[in-house]
Structure 1
Amino acid sequence: MSYGNRKPHFVLVPLFAQGHMIPMIDLARLLALQGVAVSVVTTPRNTARFKAMIDRANAAGLLIRFIEFQFPCTEVGLSEGCENVDLLPSGDLAKTFIAGLSMLREPLLLHLRQQCSKPSCIISDACCPWTSEVARELRVPRLVFHGPSCFFLLCTHNVSKHKSGGHLADEFEPFLVPGFPHKLEVVRAQCLKFFELPGWEKLFAEVAEAESMADGFVINSFRELEAAYIDGYQKALGRKVWAIGPVCLSIKETCDKVTRGNTMNVDENYIRNWLDAKETGSVIYVSFGTMVSHSASHLIEIGLGLEASKRPFIWVIKEKEMWPEVASFLSEGFEERTSSRGLILRGWAPQVLILSHPSVGGFMTHCGWNSTLEAVSVGVPMITWPHFFDQFLNERLVVEVLRVGVALKFNMFIRRVADDAEGLITREDVEKAVTELLDGGAEGEERRKRAKELAEKAKKAMNGGSSCEDLTLMIRHALERAGEASDAQEP
């Protein structure tokens, strides 16, 4: 794109959580590829996770830089270094973390005022409503970046707007979502907006107010996947919604796929060689994102189910999940019994690299939207086990609408899977789901075909198609609004 004498400058403000930062960094690359200068607000520990990737982008001529601030850990009562949600010792500290994040408002405003020219646009994570004040004081447009699926966004918007289910004594009593493109029966407990919880009323109101003043909304999806929901959401909001994803497809180089989000404990070549030795479509990849944490009993049931399935598998276990019982289970027979067909990765895993390998035929996932889109982008069917928030509705989209997934254990009657939950899934559930996904007869073949077709549509959307068009329109809209604001300030 041609911008005249002045290169546009977009400032991106993510929520410091990997599920939010990773797509925001991908968005930064997409903008830079369009000739936009991009600054990403971050902190030292978050910078370290993405520095190698951004250094390579800059070496390739892309203009992406970090605006790095010290996170106010001490001021809000957090231990030093708690600069990302996944570094918090307890989920109970989430509200404290959000309060700390909002304290970056003044440093960011001061920094941007000190620059030679003000930014063209601020793109903020929906969970950072304080950026609305920054944009207003600088008189620049602000776009809201939404991480979840538009299926989730439209459903929760309509439920919240119409107060459906508010009269229900039982939050698990099913009801139909009003104004949805098709019949969808939900329970109130699984269709709440983010922060729509007791004790979070103030932040929920701030997010709603900030969204009401936004100049538009950016979502990580593509029209061929969610056209009806994108159109419905745009109509419901009365403002533009641009679908510019799947942003994970902006990552082309293997080294970027490996370092996208963090560093791992295993050499990439070891993983690639392991996968190269397996038959096409034979491996089940098991990973539940950065936030989900399982009890020891659930991890052991997953392991025994994978063993009983007799299928090759890659299983990612987070360091915080290495309970003594789990360590004993792995070392006292399990790893030895499955050594010929199982690979256990402890800590961070290069998910995009793994999913894109031809040997991977299925993905057992928590249905986080990033993971879901990464699977869709490479045509890998899913076994779904949602744990909280948008994941339950993402499962409905994957299993019931797109029909590219198998539910591990479809259960409408739970708000969230707690860390210490017991007995929700069994080894028999895991074995059955793996077998159904990787075999499944004619139905399984149709599922795999649909997944491959969606992957082709995703690639076309990002390669000159609908998502490229929306990205161009979004940049143009932001610059037009910036120009209008500048003209309004002329004496």
Structure 2
Amino acid sequence: MSYGNRKPHFVLVPLFAQGHMIPMIDLARLLALQGVAVSVMTTPQNTARFKAVIDRANAAGLLIRFIELRFPCAEAGLPEGCECYDHVPSLELYKNFYEGLSLLREPLLLYLRQQCPKPSCIISDASTPWTREIARELRVPRYVYHAPSCFFLLCTRNVGKHKPGADAFERLLVPDLPHEVEVVRGQALGLFDYPGIEKLRDEVAEAESTADGLVMNSFRELETAFIDSYQKDLEKKVWAIGPVCLSNKETGDKFTRGNKMNVDENYIRNWLDAKETASVIYVSFGSIASHSASHLIEIGLGLEASKRPFVWVIRDKEMRPEVARFLSEGFEERTKGLILRGWAPQVLILSHPSVGGFMTHCGWNSTLEAVSVGVPMLTWAHFFDQFLNEKLVVEILRIGVALKANTSIVYMADDAEGLITREDVEKAVTELLEGAEAEERRKRAKELAAKAKESMEGGSSCEDLRFMIRHALELTDEASDA
């Protein structure tokens, strides 16, 4: 895009969580590809996580830099080094984490006042409502970036307006929705509709109501009716600019996206290359969810019983003695599986032709990554927006199978027991991969993947990104003339 003699400068303010930072870094790349200079607020630990990605972008001539600030752990009552949401040791300390994040307001404002070119726009995660004051002082437009699906945002908004006092386990139809969707009330709460964070909830709502627009990691062909309804309800422009994971064109970008791996890239690729097309189940539940030893063992036994090859990601903190013992007793040798401990290059794995299904928690990033490569999903939601994402995948898009349909649980703790069995896993894997319905499901998934790619290559998402940039620059010009 041509911007005359000026150089647009967008500032991105993420929530420091893997599921929020990864798409924000992808958004930074997309903006830089449009000729925008981009600054991303970060902290030392988060810089280390994404340095390789930014170095690759800079080497390719893209103008992306970090604004590295010290995270005030001690001031917020957090353990030293707790700079990422994923590292918060207990539910009780999440409120402290948000308070620590808000303490970055003054350091960020001081930094931005000294920048040349000055910021043209701020795009801030919905979890950082304090950026509205920075945008006001700098007289620049501000967009709110929403990490969840628009379907989730619309459902929770509608349920909250019409059924605010419903019992947590009451089943109800979501009001004013273009599709008939039944939910458990406690599974349709907004991200901040929880006791103890009412002040943050109100600040987030105020920040959204005063924003100059909303940015979504989605694409119109996926959520057309929900984007249109949400935009109409809020009376604000919604820019759907995803799936941003498709900005990772090179293998190196897919591999370094996120944490460092414990296994060589070629080892994973060679293992997948040896498997038949669409035969492998990829199993991963994101960076936050954690499971009891019994649940992990049931998953393992169910995968074994399915007689399907699989790639199974087990987080380091889940490797309890019982799990380690189970795995060491010949599990890998007698199954067709590959177990990855810690972090896995998810986009790289999902995009391999041998992967035919994805057992997932239905986090929105994981969901979009599967959609973008046409891989059907075996869903097991754990908390927050995941329950409604599961509804979208299984009931509306019809590209997934629920591991436990119609569950009423509203939060799956890491010590939960007896929620799934090996029989559940075996049955769901078989349903996902075998039979006429499975073939139709794969066909729908591939059609959505083609639309996702088209949206990012000159289609609706590419247009929304360009319109969003121009809209921000027009608002900046108006503020300068005022």
TM-score for the superposition, normalised by structure 2: 0.99
* Deviation (angstroms), 1:165: 4.9
* Deviation (angstroms), 1:326: 0.6
> C-alpha root-mean-square deviation of aligned residues, in Å?
0.9
**1:176, 1:183 within 8 Å by CA — same for their partners in 2?**
yes
Aligned partner of 2:191 in structure 1 is 194
Aligned partner of 2:216 in structure 1 is 219
Matched, 1:467 2:431: no
| Structure 2 counterpart SS, 1:361 | strand
* Deviation (angstroms), 1:51: 0.6
Aligned counterparts of 2:92 and 2:293: Cα–Cα separation in 1: 20
Q: Provide Cα deviations, 1:25-52, integer angstroms capped at 9, x if missing partner.
A: 0000000000000000000110011111
**2:291, 2:318 within 8 Å by CA — same for their partners in 1?**
yes
Aligned counterparts of 2:417 and 2:46: Cα–Cα separation in 1: 33
Matched, 1:49 2:49: yes
Aligned partner of 1:396 in structure 2 is 391
What amino acid maps onto 1:453 in structure 2?
A: E
Aligned partner of 2:76 in structure 1 is 76
Matched, 1:326 2:320: no
Q: 1:165 to 1:114 in 2, by over 3 A?
A: closer
**1:165, 1:188 within 8 Å by CA — same for their partners in 2?**
no
* Deviation (angstroms), 1:175: 1.7
Q: Tell which deviates more after alignment, 182-191 or 458-467.
A: 182-191
**1:172, 1:412 within 8 Å by CA — same for their partners in 2?**
no
What amino acid maps onto 2:437 in structure 1?
A: E
What amino acid maps onto 1:233 in structure 2?
A: Y
Q: Percent identity, please.
A: 80
Aligned partner of 1:425 in structure 2 is 420
Aligned pair count?
Answer: 482
Aligned counterparts of 2:127 and 2:258: Cα–Cα separation in 1: 19
Aligned partner of 2:202 in structure 1 is 205
| Structure 1 counterpart SS, 2:25 | helix
Matched, 1:486 2:456: no
Aligned counterparts of 1:130 and 1:160: Cα–Cα separation in 2: 24
Aligned counterparts of 1:412 and 1:11: Cα–Cα separation in 2: 41
- What does 1:125-274 correspond to in 2, within 5 Å? 125-162=125-162, 164-166=163-165, 168=166, 170-274=167-271
Matched, 1:363 2:358: yes
Matched, 1:312 2:306: no
Q: Provide Cα deviations, 1:265-321, integer angstroms capped at 9, x if missing partner.
A: 000000000000000000000000001001111000000000111100000000010
**1:220, 1:244 within 8 Å by CA — same for their partners in 2?**
yes
Aligned partner of 2:404 in structure 1 is 409
Aligned partner of 1:34 in structure 2 is 34
> Gaps (5+ residues) in structure 2?
none
Aligned counterparts of 1:119 and 1:165: Cα–Cα separation in 2: 39
What amino acid maps onto 2:170 in structure 1?
A: E
> Gaps (5+ residues) in structure 1?
none
Matched, 1:13 2:19: no
Q: Which 4+ stretches in 1 moved above 4 angstroms?
A: none
**1:363, 1:382 within 8 Å by CA — same for their partners in 2?**
yes
Aligned counterparts of 2:406 and 2:80: Cα–Cα separation in 1: 39
* Deviation (angstroms), 1:88: 2.1
Matched, 1:119 2:116: no
* Deviation (angstroms), 1:336: 2.7
TM-score for the superposition, normalised by structure 1: 0.97
* Deviation (angstroms), 1:161: 2.6
* Deviation (angstroms), 1:117: 4.0
Aligned partner of 2:63 in structure 1 is 63
* Deviation (angstroms), 1:187: 2.1
Aligned counterparts of 1:58 and 1:399: Cα–Cα separation in 2: 40
Matched, 1:446 2:435: no
**2:7, 2:117 within 8 Å by CA — same for their partners in 1?**
no
**1:295, 1:419 within 8 Å by CA — same for their partners in 2?**
yes
Aligned counterparts of 2:430 and 2:117: Cα–Cα separation in 1: 59
* Deviation (angstroms), 1:200: 1.1
Aligned partner of 1:343 in structure 2 is 338
Aligned counterparts of 2:235 and 2:202: Cα–Cα separation in 1: 19
* Deviation (angstroms), 1:6: 1.0
Q: Provide Cα deviations, 1:394-434, integer angstroms capped at 9, x if missing partner.
A: 00000000000000011341111111100000000000011
Aligned counterparts of 1:115 and 1:345: Cα–Cα separation in 2: 43
| Structure 2 counterpart SS, 1:76 | coil
What amino acid maps onto 1:111 in structure 2?
A: Y
**1:165, 1:175 within 8 Å by CA — same for their partners in 2?**
no
What amino acid maps onto 2:475 in structure 1?
A: R
| Structure 1 counterpart SS, 2:10 | strand
Say which of 376, 383, 390 aligns to 1:381: 376
Aligned counterparts of 1:414 and 1:87: Cα–Cα separation in 2: 24
